Amino acid sequence: MKLAGLLLIVIMTMSGIGYWYYTDTQNTIAILTGNNAKLELSVATNEATIKVMAADFKKASETLQQVNTEFAATRRQNNILADKLAKHDLELLAASRPDSIERLINGGTIAAGRCFELLSGSPLTEKEKNAKSDRSFNKECPWLYDRYKSSGMLNDTPNN
């Protein structure tokens, strides 16, 4: 009988330890499953963020390349203008024909201002839409003519 009582105590103790182990393991599994779900959500969010950042970086790189190209074109145009100005003695011309020089400078200033307006997104005027050459489009920024022509915004293109 003593042996049976001792075995009963050992069996009950082992059952209690087994029950505690099972309960503790189930709680641990539940916590780990929840953590795993949170981790998977974080990974998915990070991957989506990386894709968006990569797309944004690509777009920024393309925009920078476009700006650099336009800046180089502006530099070329500035060099052309500097060469033109170097060929003339403006002081002598201004002294001998002030009205003509004033008219030319005012006209150039207006055309240059229009270049800034166009680069800022201003809509084309009818004269600009109907231009047949880069010089008739705007003599201060003739390089814009090809941009508008290729986008189909001029009346002489087949896209209109």
**Of 28 and 81, the one with more pLDDT:** 28
Is the pLDDT at 160 greater than 70? The verdict is no
Q: What is the mean pLDDT of residues 33-55?
A: 96
Q: What is the pLDDT of residue 119?
A: 87
The residues near 141 (Cβ < 8 Å, ≥ 6 apart) are 77, 111, 112, 114, 115, 118, 119
Longest Cα pair distance anywhere in the chain, in angstroms? 137
Q: What is the pLDDT of residues 48-77, one digit of tens each?
A: 999 999 999 999 999 999 999 988 988 888
**pTM higher than 0.85 for the full model?**
no
